[in-house]
Structure 1
Amino acid sequence: MSKSSSDGETPTDRNPGRKSDVRKAAQARVPGRGQTRKAAPGARDGAADGAAPTSLRTKSVSLKKTRGKTTAQQRWLARQLNDPYVQAAQKQGWRSRAAFKLIELDDRFHLIKPGQRVLDLGAAPGGWTQVAVKRGAARVVGVDLLPVEPVAGAEIVEGDFTDPDLPARLIEMLGGKPNVVLSDMAPNTTGHAPTDHLRIIGLAESALDFAIEVLADGGSFVAKVFQGGSEKQMLEPMKKLFESVRHAKPPASRKDSSELYVVATGFRPNRGA
């Protein structure tokens, strides 16, 4: 089971085509692709820090039928090309539209503060890691089973976060316990919604166990889940360890997606004793 993050959001939202098709098409339409504008650490506005893509005037793109592509693949590719978040990510230099989900969550909950230490679980392709750096974190480490292209201002570890030897190594790399643990991880999906729901809840609970082990006092935890019933049960034990625990659906999360995020702030490990 893959523990890497995915910009697809539900079993029906997965990429039936190839991401390279989107990159090629977008590259032809967006000049200056891959150029990231510099922003002051901790800045909360400006294109480099995530201008609201809903304010952009997006031009609808018609996609001619591509040889060898199924109808589902054509539909997915067309949606990607006409998605304002995809277009904004290309223009602003983010590695995926998922970057805007963290930007919106951070704008709402003020998770990442300048000078903090941030750990990003399931970091591939690196969008959330980029955001943590741009938002002013002093130390950022991304972890994934998959290779991740280097992110300026961050360190990347290719490995399994459930490795019992990894927590101590990550804390050493960060120079102390992380103030924020992020998880945009999603398992490989089966297409059977109840099964996929239980699998992502299990993955989120593993990320929570990891966060409880490494988080600094007062820290925050964010994890992706799918709606399906069990996500509510996950909150109850968390309320004993965090001052605030809630679900949130950022605007960048597609409306037809069952995706939610668990957002917990004010970690107090002794509260659960």
Structure 2
Amino acid sequence: MSGAGSPDFFYREAQRLGYVARSAFKLLQIQKQFKLITPGSSVLDLGCAPGAWLQVACQNLGPIEKGGSVVGVDVKRVKVPSAHCDSRVRTVCADVMSLLKGQARALSPQERGFSVILSDMCPAVSGITTKDAALSCELGMRAISLAVGKLNTPNLSDNTVVEKFLSITDPDPDEDGVLRRGGNLVIKFLENEDVQGFGKLCKLKFKNVSWLRPKATRSCSKEIYLICQGLR
């Protein structure tokens, strides 16, 4: 629904095309522009409720004989949508903030890790801008930590923003991330003065880093997506 409470274009289109939420169009645009998911990809969707990104991810795996998988993780129990999904999609009920890398890796095919990690996680918005921004950054840092593993502190000496959130990444003894080399990462943030620090961090880890505000984002929303391609 739009901010005024009346159905908007993307809401109506989601209903017409069988997507469980208008957020599907955000990933559809990201996929069209960056082609992150290829046939046979293994995809981890963090904060997958209500399932729209599961649908789009599965659509981009190609024919079922190409293989691939989509695993959604959310603190809520999420039923795999019947439309646009097939047997390659499953969901797990877990708190991403306490999910160990070994547990996440065990969800991947042959426990070899994922080729794409998507994070559409967002805090329950309180309306207190600074609080919401900080929680969004914590979720974003968590997604980065799961994806790339232990962060090299000396390389971050000039990145005070990332240092501020580094302590919440985890006390996980596993130093390796669950994103495969060459893999892609998408993270949603609530735009604030700190987010550019995450872009600088990811430029150390990925070949290409971009920011995108999808067309389906509501005008009143501060959402912005960090698109990272080609894990070094």
Decide: shared fold, TM above 0.5: yes
Q: Distance in 2 between matches of 1:202 and 1:259?
A: 15
Q: Distance in 1 between matches of 2:219 and 2:125?
A: 19
Q: Give the structure 2 partner of residue 118 of structure 1.
A: 43
Higher share of residues assigned strand: 2
Q: CA deviation at 1:177?
A: 1.6
Q: Give the structure 2 partner of residue 256 of structure 1.
A: 220
Q: Distance in 1 between matches of 2:103 and 2:194?
A: 28
**Residue 178 of structure 1 is aligned with which of 107, 114, 117?**
114
Aligned partner of residue 112 in structure 1, secondary structure: coil
Q: CA deviation at 1:237?
A: 1.5
What 5-or-longer segments of structure 1 have no aligned partner?
1-6, 14-74, 269-273
Aligned partner of residue 217 in structure 1, secondary structure: strand
Q: CA deviation at 1:197?
A: 1.0
2:143 is the counterpart of 1:207: yes
2:74 is the counterpart of 1:144: yes
**One-letter amino acid of the counterpart of residue 170, structure 1:** L
Q: For the aligned residues, what is the CA RMSD?
A: 1.7
Q: CA deviation at 1:235?
A: 1.2
2:130 is the counterpart of 1:194: yes
Aligned partner of residue 179 in structure 1, secondary structure: strand
Q: CA deviation at 1:163?
A: 2.1
- Residue by residue over 1:228-264, the C-alpha shift from the partner in whole angstroms, topping out at 9 and shown as x without a partner, is 1100011112111100112111111123321100000
**One-letter amino acid of the counterpart of residue 179, structure 1:** S
**Residue 181 of structure 2 is aligned with which of 217, 238, 245?**
217
Q: Distance in 2 between matches of 1:167 and 1:85?
A: 32
Q: Give the structure 1 partner of residue 17 of structure 2.
A: 92
Aligned partner of residue 245 in structure 1, secondary structure: strand
Matches within 5 A, 1:32-71: none
**Residue 201 of structure 2 is aligned with which of 237, 247, 251?**
237
The two structures have a TM-score, normalised by structure 1, of 0.67
Q: Distance in 2 between matches of 1:256 and 1:210?
A: 30
Q: Give the structure 1 partner of residue 230 of structure 2.
A: 266
The two structures have a TM-score, normalised by structure 2, of 0.78
Count of residues paired in the alignment: 192
**Residue 93 of structure 2 is aligned with which of 150, 158, 173?**
158
Q: CA deviation at 1:175?
A: 5.4
- Residue by residue over 1:121-172, the C-alpha shift from the partner in whole angstroms, topping out at 9 and shown as x without a partner, is 0001000011000112621111111011124320111112332252232124
- Residue by residue over 1:180-204, the C-alpha shift from the partner in whole angstroms, topping out at 9 and shown as x without a partner, is 0000010112111122111101111
Aligned partner of residue 95 in structure 1, secondary structure: coil
Aligned partner of residue 225 in structure 2, secondary structure: strand
**Residue 31 of structure 2 is aligned with which of 106, 119, 123?**
106
What 5-or-longer segments of structure 2 have no aligned partner?
63-67, 149-176
- Residue by residue over 1:29-76, the C-alpha shift from the partner in whole angstroms, topping out at 9 and shown as x without a partner, is xxxxxxxxxxxxxxxxxxxxxxxxxxxxxxxxxxxxxxxxxxxxxx42
